[in-house]
Chains A and B, each alone.
Chain A
Amino acid sequence: MSTISLNRIQYLFSKYFIENWKKDLSNFLIIFIIGGFSGYNTAFFNLSKIIFVIIAFIYAGRIFGMLSYKPKGMNYLLIPASAGEKTLVNLILANIYYLAALYICYMLGCLFGDLIHTFIYGVVFSLDSLRYALSFDYKTILLLLLCESILIFGSVYFKRKAIIKVALYFFCFFLLIMIVDSSLLYFFTEHQNIVDSPYNYTLAKSFPEGPFNLKYWDIFAIGGTIFFILFFWVLSFLRLKETEV
């Protein structure tokens, strides 16, 4: 089966860039400016990181946005490329191209901000803000990719208002997990601990030598995150294959 062709992938990328370069460039400019201001104040620095993540999430949540408008969706689905190629291109766009480009623009913004700061105030040039900007660890990146994969799936599944719907589903899901979790803890541990001091309660206290060894838990969490990232990618592909317009 001719599911993957490098030529068609190249055409899809070319189509994307010719159609969207202006829009992307304006977003990159915004993040560059935000990066430029982020070095002066810790609160603003944290806020700039949040804005960075929000822009990345909005992009991922709209990656299959063409399906929300019938004629656009028809046009997209009838482009002679397989669902695998279309999904792959969109995954690369959302998870590599856009994140990398945003990140580079953000860092350049930080660097530019530092330079301007040095020139205006005559202070010694430092790369403090750039250092902070580079401080995304691999766990954060994995979490970012997980959220993005869910949003990408949301964008192909819900078609319209995907981001809001995914957020609502997330909220309901975690609420349910919290209820189940609390109920389990309530029934399997001493009731008093939870009732008297729910916030001080820790798993380590209840299971000092038990199954929740934090080292293994870490490995399990990373493995689980990678599994779910791949799971939602596959789910997005299957959903795109089944999409009717």
Chain B
Amino acid sequence: MINLTNIHFGYSKKRMLFSELNLNLTPGHIYGLLGKNGAGKTTLLKIISGLLFSQKGTANVMGKRSELRDPEVLKEIYFLPEEMYIPHLKIRNYAKVYSPFYPSFSMEQFTKYLDEFEINDQEQYADKLSHGQQKKLLISFALATNTKILLLDEPTNGLDIPSKSIFRRVMASSTNEDRLVIISTHQVRDLHSLIDSVIILDNGEIIFNQPSDIITEKLVFKVEDNDVDLKSVLYSEDNVRGLLVVKENSEQLESKLDIELLFNAIIANKKRIKEIFES
């Protein structure tokens, strides 16, 4: 559904952000796009949506080049940026103005999601809502569009604690086999249970792209005593509970994926982890 081939992109000619970046994403997954600040997560989402054009290589979305911004493709993509724009419209009118562009939009779902986020009055002006409420409005709209591709840039930023769990719930209920969701985030703990594939971007390269089940098959995430033999450990972190470790799962143990720990392990021990996943 999304094919990026040999993407070269830079904001200046001297410093390229992506060189020969390749990525192939299929529907039916919620991809977590992780990376340090400035790694190019938002840029990647913009290239996919057609807001930025790669200088070399091709970005194909649903079989068409994304930079063409073909309306037939755009009606199947919804991009929720971190920095949002909300026009001076009542919520009801916001849906009235933008929904006709999305043929699969469901007003019923939109109202349902708004209710879940406790935004009950659609006569309110959307731009007068708080930042968090505006985000909830756009998340509700994004989910109600029922587009095949959903790009979410830091969706939980600005959401209060109860809203984060509502977000996880509505996201989980709205995904299906035909939908591809990419969530770019730093708040991995918020989305831990939601993400089923992890993509890690570092220095303009996709250094990791694996589904959760393969990750837990190859790696084990454990809490160990401080006297553990560090030779077998790929990465460790001190914690009040003990030592959080990532190890190769040679004994086929079952463990729960800790995305934050995985991210730190990959950044710290890129080469070794790559070898494990290639073996």
Binding site for B on A (CB under 8 A): 1-2, 5, 7-8, 11, 14-15, 18-19, 69-72, 74-75, 77-83, 85, 241-242, 244-245
Contacts and interface: CB of A to CB of B under 8 A. Distances in A.
Name the residue in B89, B93, B100, B102 with the highest tally of chain A Cβ atoms < 10 Å from its Cβ: B100
Nearest to A3: B71
B27 to A, nearest CB: 19
Contacts of A80: 71, 74-75, 101-102
A163 B192 CA distance: 49
Contacts of A241: 69
B87 A19 contact: yes
Name the residue in B52, B71, B74, B97 with the highest tally of chain A Cβ atoms < 10 Å from its Cβ: B71
A66 to B, nearest CB: 9
B100 A81 contact: no
B85 A69 contact: yes
A82 B71 contact: yes
Contacts of A82: 69-71
Given A78-B49, A78-B51, A245-B51, A71 B85 contact: yes
B69 A83 contact: yes
A244 B53 contact: yes
A94 to B, nearest CB: 20
B272 interface: no
Contact of B71 (A69, A81, A242): A81
Interface residues of B, number: 28
Interface stretch (B76-84, B194-202, B240-248): B76-84
9 contacts: A5-B71, A11-B101, A18-B96, A18-B97, A19-B87, A71-B81, A71-B84, A80-B101, A244-B53
B235 to A, nearest CB: 37
A15 B51 contact: no
Contact of B52 (A2, A85, A244): A244
Interface of B: 46, 49-53, 69-72, 74-75, 77, 79, 81, 83-85, 87-89, 93, 96-98, 100-102
Nearest to A2: B72
Nearest to A75: B85
B199 to A, nearest CB: 22
Nearest to A240: B69
Given A2-B71, A244-B51, A245-B51, 14 more contacts: A5-B71, A14-B100, A19-B87, A19-B89, A69-B85, A71-B81, A71-B84, A75-B85, A77-B50, A78-B50, A78-B51, A78-B74, A79-B74, A244-B53
Contacts, number: 68
Contact of A74 (B51, B74, B87): B51
A79 B49 CA distance: 11
Contacts of A83: 69
A18 B87 CA distance: 10
Contacts of B96: 18
A8 B83 CA distance: 26
B47 to A, nearest CB: 10
Nearest to B103: A80
B81 to A, nearest CB: 6
Nearest to A83: B69
Given A11-B100, A244-B51, A19 B88 contact: yes
Contacts of B69: 77-78, 82-83, 241
Contact of B89 (A18, A72, A85, A242): A18
A179 B85 CA distance: 46
A231 to B, nearest CB: 23
Name the residue in A78, A82, A83, A85 with the highest tally of chain B Cβ atoms < 10 Å from its Cβ: A78
Contacts of B81: 71, 74
B93 A18 contact: yes
A14 B97 contact: yes
A8 B52 contact: no
Nearest to B145: A80
Contacts of B79: 74, 78
A13 to B, nearest CB: 11
Contacts of A74: 51, 79, 81, 85
B56 to A, nearest CB: 15
A70 B70 CA distance: 20
Contacts of B49: 78
Contacts of B100: 7, 11, 14
B92 to A, nearest CB: 11
Contacts of B102: 80
Given A11-B100, A14-B100, A19-B97, A77 B51 contact: yes
